[in-house]
Structure 1
Amino acid sequence: MPGHVIMVVRSWPRQSQSFIVDEVVAMERRGLELTIVSLARSGERRRHPQLDAMRAMVLFLDAAGANARWTRILEHTRALAGAPGRYLRTLGYAWLHPRLSRGYSTYSTIRCFDHAVAVAGLAFRLRRSGAGAPHIHAHFAHDPALVGMLASRLTGLTFSFTAHAEDLYRIPPASLLARVTAANAVVTCCQANAAYIARNVPRTVRPPVRVIHHGVELDRFRPARRPARPDLTLVSIGPLTEEHGYVDLLRACAALAESGHRFTCEVYGDGPLRRQLIELSVGFGLAGQVSFRGERSRDEIGRVLAGADIFVVTPGGATDDDADGRPNVVLDAMASGVPVVTTAIASLSELVRSGQNALVAPPGDVETIAAHLAALLTEPALRRRIGEGGRHTVEARYDVEAAASALETVFGTRTSLPAEVAP
């Protein structure tokens, strides 16, 4: 039974990955000890407020300068001296498989081996301190999972990883196969991802694949009283990129305005399409109704959702099997009791049921998106029913405490494992 979990991430901290922080804090509440190993610093100025509740130490591997280089040389020396066979076999494996870092990656395979040596050094220090044999878990299937896999080969420790979105779909199938077959278990956040792994990794060499939904802190996102008012507020949150379908949203808003509906639409987030979308909203005559508010912290998003009447995201579907993953902010909106309008992308298929906990349109279907928004704008009873359905769904299936409990089974800190869900 591992006494500690080493969690490898690409960069830390990230506003867009607040669900990882929520999971860590929930696991710590359950008594699990963790250390975060980040391959790089995020560089983001906004700080996730839950970081203050986290006990886990964070080790950054992107330090520069003579001291950092000397420390890394010592780690290689210790790894070679402590287990020369494992060290040389793992180095040879990394040298002979440079393609493992192809695709959606930042580091070469040899650089990932270098980072894996640092993870192995941390594992050695933890065992020497009496923490027991740690388990290595990587969040994301690209660089972090490759580092975790190589660290497992160096140390013989158990290894698992969580696959999310682009990290899963934009690495070559051969690279995914290597990572999956080296793992004791694989975690992913939706059935669509589990099915993709099953299509690319034969069952005979595949470890258990668990779907563990990203959980929501139900006490942080709660339904709020929304007073009746003539102008309702639509809220959309997400990166301003092509795959998130904001052009479709603006076209739907233009159709609503042309039909005489009274509303305002607040868009939160940033990205490469910001200027284009602002210009497009002006061209559609929406300058007084649609505003672009930029990025916000997790606490600010909670307050935004508390004041929203309708939440809308309209992803157009990604070219690589839904590579952008599930918009986790949909869960936040549903937990807040806000009625949701969205589109039928694969990663949302197990979350939303049109007419029950959301109104769902085909991707790119501006007419249906506008019709769903118009229905919610004009029917208070429908808003209330869809909002209550969303909250009930999150309470039943997406509580962060349940996610933390399920992750404990993957890490080996609990003895009962759920059945594999991938076909």
Structure 2
Amino acid sequence: MARDNLAIVVKGYPRLSETFIAQEILGIQQAGIPYRIVSLRHPTDKKRHPINDRITGAVDYLPEYVYQEPMRVLRGWLKARKMPGYRRALNIWLQDYRRDRTANRARRFAQAMVMAAELPDDVTRIYAHFLHTPASVVRYCAIMRGLPWSCSAHAKDIYTSQDWDMREKLRDMDWLVTCTSANVDYLRKLAEDPDKVNLLYHGLDFSRFPEDLPERPLRDGTDAENPVRILSVGRLVGKKGYDDLLRALAKLPANCHWRFIHIGGGNGEKYKKLATELGIADRCDWQGARDQKEVIAACQSSDLFVLASRIEKDGDRDGLPNVLMEAQLCGLAAVSTAISAIPELIEDGVNGKLVPERDPDALASALEALITDPRLRETMGRKGNEIVRRDFSFYRGMKELAERFGVNSQSDEQAAIPAEQPAAE
């Protein structure tokens, strides 16, 4: 099996909320697999993670909208229509468009034509991150170019997509990896060949984290001058449940002293307004988007981590958020919800507490139990660190992915896959 030369297709690059993708791309680079990044959108974040500075592959940006680059789209069509697979790709797209008459679907075919026309001839496989929009572009392009393609699926892309769309993509691709057992079970029911769907946890690169856990003060919420520091990291979007969390915090006893620190992008005005209405605004610290080094530093200086994830009406949800693994690796006990794959990491009463989604009362009770018991927090945090180091190493998954891309001899693996390093650089 020859080593692939990849075109890695992502929705946007770089993105602060997609550290796991950057980490994987860096792993592909370190494994000596040739690649280039193809992004459907230009970056919008004002900051970027340090890991993105280590990624040296070429980045191609496709036209986000046809009207912005009409001549580029026209040139793409003139070249793509001469390709042997163009007619089949067009027929598949027309069939898709009849079932999904949206401007988004139309744009994807335009992007696919540009990508098919501009992709270098030495690319041997296209690899999509996310099963919805990026996989649509990849599918049409791969058919035009006659190239094999594969996909990595995550959460929103699975649970907000139509079954027919995922079923037909699974039929056409070589294989798919996804980051939770819950996702595997769901997608295997849709696939004609269930063996195409495989579990591959994102995992963490332990070398970017301190090896030793910090010595945390035994804060118990009794000292107003030294409150328990409660951290949450996540975009300010509905599926993260920050309105549920704020309502839970407001339910804590008046003599329970805490400070809530939030890190993440998004429009925070409605949450700040809610905190004011609930009378807890003076206890909330909204820090906005931060890079991974800053997130790790916040984990090191906090006492407790919380993420009130929930399933939205359109099906959007978290899978297994990387921030939960990062907090656990830093020795933080975690309070979260028993949805999706979160129970694959957090075992209730062992390394954290799990509560039902959309239940501020239950969330408040779990928070109070850990705020007032620093010894329990410490025990759970150490157990969480042990579980992540045992089960969620990035290197284990990266070795399997490299094999899928043709790094298949023992000597290749030893040379290409970097050795796991437990300490931060």
**DSSP 3-state at the match of 2:259:** strand
**Contact 2:153/2:177 (CA < 8 Å) preserved in 1?**
yes
Most deviating of 292-301 and 338-347 = 292-301
Q: CA deviation at 1:75?
A: 4.3
Q: CA deviation at 1:293?
A: 2.1
Instruction: Tell me which residue corresponds to 1:94.
Output: 93
CA deviation string 1:130-164 (max 9, x = no partner) = xxx52111011112101111122112221111121
Structure 2 counterpart of 1:22, one-letter code: Q
Instruction: Tell me which residue corresponds to 1:421.
Output: none
1:193 aligns with 2:183: yes
Q: CA deviation at 1:301?
A: 1.1
**Contact 2:308/2:336 (CA < 8 Å) preserved in 1?**
yes
Distance 1:62 1:250, change over 3 A: same
User: What does 1:301-340 correspond to in 2, within 5 Å?
Assistant: 301-321=295-315, 323-340=317-334
User: What does 1:162-173 correspond to in 2, within 5 Å?
Assistant: 162-173=152-163
Distance 1:67 1:279, change over 3 A: closer
Match of 1:408 among 371, 381, 402: 402
Instruction: Tell me which residue corresponds to 2:259.
Output: 264
Structure-2 separation of matches of 1:63 and 1:168: 22
**DSSP 3-state at the match of 1:288:** helix
Structure-2 separation of matches of 1:406 and 1:355: 32
Instruction: Tell me which residue corresponds to 1:371.
Output: 365
Structure-2 separation of matches of 1:112 and 1:361: 39
**DSSP 3-state at the match of 2:12:** strand
Structure-1 separation of matches of 2:350 and 2:406: 37
Match of 2:105 among 103, 108, 115: 108
Structure-2 separation of matches of 1:398 and 1:299: 19
Q: How many corresponding residue pairs?
A: 401
Instruction: Tell me which residue corresponds to 1:212.
Output: 200
Structure-2 separation of matches of 1:246 and 1:36: 33
Distance 1:117 1:270, change over 3 A: closer
User: What does 1:218-257 correspond to in 2, within 5 Å?
Assistant: 218-222=206-210, 223-229=213-219, 230-257=226-253
Matched-pair identity in %: 29
Structure-2 separation of matches of 1:363 and 1:214: 24
Structure 1 counterpart of 2:184, one-letter code: A
**DSSP 3-state at the match of 2:205:** coil
Structure-2 separation of matches of 1:11 and 1:312: 27
Structure 2 counterpart of 1:310, one-letter code: L
CA deviation string 1:96-145 (max 9, x = no partner) = 4314656xx86324x3233223333454x242xxxxx5211101111210
**DSSP 3-state at the match of 1:256:** coil
Distance 1:311 1:33, change over 3 A: same
Most deviating of 383-392 and 92-101 = 92-101
**Contact 2:239/2:317 (CA < 8 Å) preserved in 1?**
no
Structure 2 counterpart of 1:278, one-letter code: K
Structure-1 separation of matches of 2:65 and 2:248: 49
**Contact 2:310/2:317 (CA < 8 Å) preserved in 1?**
no
Instruction: Tell me which residue corresponds to 1:182.
Output: 172
Most deviating of 401-410 and 159-168 = 401-410
Distance 1:153 1:294, change over 3 A: same
**DSSP 3-state at the match of 1:46:** coil
Structure 2 counterpart of 1:54, one-letter code: I
Most deviating of 352-361 and 372-381 = 372-381
Distance 1:299 1:150, change over 3 A: same
Structure-1 separation of matches of 2:218 and 2:33: 45
CA deviation string 1:28-72 (max 9, x = no partner) = 112122111001102221112111101211100127899965555
**DSSP 3-state at the match of 2:128:** strand
Structure-2 separation of matches of 1:312 and 1:393: 18
**Contact 1:188/1:210 (CA < 8 Å) preserved in 2?**
yes
Structure-2 separation of matches of 1:4 and 1:40: 22
Structure-1 separation of matches of 2:348 and 2:66: 55
Structure 2 counterpart of 1:161, one-letter code: C
Structure-2 separation of matches of 1:66 and 1:377: 54
Structure-2 separation of matches of 1:415 and 1:292: 49
Most deviating of 156-165 and 15-24 = 156-165
RMSD of aligned C-alpha atoms?
A: 2.6
Structure 2 counterpart of 1:86, one-letter code: G
Task: Mark the runs of 5 or more structure 2 residues left unpaired by the alignment.
Answer: 220-225, 411-425
Q: CA deviation at 1:351?
A: 1.5
Structure-2 separation of matches of 1:106 and 1:50: 34
**Contact 1:243/1:316 (CA < 8 Å) preserved in 2?**
yes
Instruction: Tell me which residue corresponds to 1:147.
Output: 137
Structure-1 separation of matches of 2:282 and 2:80: 63
Instruction: Tell me which residue corresponds to 2:115.
Output: 119
Structure-2 separation of matches of 1:53 and 1:243: 31
Distance 1:172 1:240, change over 3 A: same
Instruction: Tell me which residue corresponds to 1:21.
Output: 22
Structure-2 separation of matches of 1:108 and 1:322: 19
Q: CA deviation at 1:89?
A: 2.4
Task: Mark the runs of 5 or more structure 1 residues left unpaired by the alignment.
Answer: 128-132, 417-423
Structure 2 counterpart of 1:210, one-letter code: N
Structure-2 separation of matches of 1:281 and 1:372: 20
Structure-2 separation of matches of 1:197 and 1:25: 27
